Amino acid sequence: ALVCALFVPGAQKLHAADERPNVIIIYADDLGWGDLGCYGNPSIRTPNLDAMASHGMRFTDFYSAAEVCTPSRAALLTGRYPIRSGMCHDKFRVLRNNSLGGLPKDEQTLPALLKTKGYATGCIGKWHLGHRPEHLPPNHGFDFYFGMPFSNDMMPAPDAPKGRAKIFEENNDYWRTPLIRGIEVVEEKPDQRQLTRRYTEESIAFIKAHQERPFFLYLAHTFPHVPLFASANFRGKSRGGIYGDVVEEIDWSVGRILEELRERGLEKKTLVIFSSDNGPWTLFDNHGGSAGPLREGKGSTWEGGMRVPGIFQWSGTIPEGVVQQRMASTMDVFTTVVKLAGAELPNDRPIDGADISLILFGKAECPAHEPFFYYRGAQLFAARLGEWKAHFITQGGYGT
């Protein structure tokens, strides 16, 4: 049965209405439910994420609102099923490097709402909600942007091998996905081996620059989406192969950001959330991750495609060491953060995310969760209510 965490008297304080937390969302790309130590992975070392779970709350039944990149990111930033924003498509299901569209201008995004309460807002990493200037983060509520406009495999070099060979060779010369700062391309052929380190450095610089005011940082890692690249400090070090190397470097990144918060006295003022946009890309064998005991992966509405890691830490506010079995989703992150910041939810459109702050604060009186719907593109494939899940259409993973 789904249960709620119990409040431990005297251990944590409840959030006060006048306390606006800093918020950091760290979002991995194609990381599976079973890829972290705290979710049972036997070979990939993730001490920082494991510590984050032990000092906070780890959800067992946490969901992305989609099984692929673009719609899942739209849902996180709008609190709405992607079918409402048009960020889904039955054929391709993600935006491509030649797509003309993007997240609609009239969507109310999380950073735009937080800006109404004085937050500084930064986006670092993979965007994938439209690469034309009008669709980039600075036109959707972010003060600052540094990262890739879409997936790192979407612009292969003209001389790259065809098919899967170019993925497995781990040759940076085969790829041309650019780096953007603001709305301008600053590097046309970045060294992907340095991306995780550079994203981490940019994140720390953003925290330093805005430590005197509330801030929202959305760090969307490029990896472990294929092709896989790790820096020299991590390459060849994991028992989990190149995939493990990449995940362990992301774990290092999480540790550096948490360390920065501690050093600046921001640990008790900052809600940190870690999750993934969808399940593992199992099509790529040892270059893809693991959904643990769950069925299937990316591209599927089976549990392995949409149930993802969900770890929340807010020192002194979220109870420590709680394994939460209550169902929640990335859309709930939107609603919860808006409420914690004292901002107003849009009242001119449906918002699908629920406020889960009572769950996070360890209150026994958890609100009832509405049914969760599993969309693949614009089609409804399944629905879950409580312990029960109904499959209306079944299918395999990505590409089927």
Active site residues: 69, 128
Structure tokens at 234: 């991590």
Yes or no: say if 238 and 43 are a contact pair by the CB < 8 Å rule.
yes
Alpha carbon distance 245, 195 (integer Å): 13
Helix 195-209 / helix 241-263 crossing angle, nearest 10 deg = 10
Smallest CA-to-CA distance from 83 within 383, 384, 380 is with 380
SS (H, E, C) the chain: CCCCCCCCCCCCCCCCCCCCCEEEEEEECCCCCCCCHHHCCCCCCCHHHHHHHHCCEEEEEEECCCCCHHHHHHHHHHCCCHHHHCCCCCCCCCCCCCCCCCCCCCCCCHHHHHHCCCCEEEEEECCCCCCCHHHCHHHCCCCEEEECCCCCCCCECCCCCCCCHHHHCCCHHHECCCEEECCEEEECCCCHHHHHHHHHHHHHHHHHHCCCCCEEEEEECCCCCCCCCCCCCCCCCCCCHHHHHHHHHHHHHHHHHHHHHHHCCCHHHEEEEEEECCCCCHHHHHHCCCCCCCCCCCCCCCHHHHEEEEEEECCCCCCCCEEECCCEEHHHHHHHHHHHCCCCCCCCCCCCCCCCHHHHCCCCCCCCCCCEEEEECCEEEEEEECCEEEECCCCCCCCC
| Integer CA distances (angstroms), 244 to 35, 225, 267, in order | 8, 12, 28
Helix 47-54 / helix 241-263 crossing angle, nearest 10 deg = 50
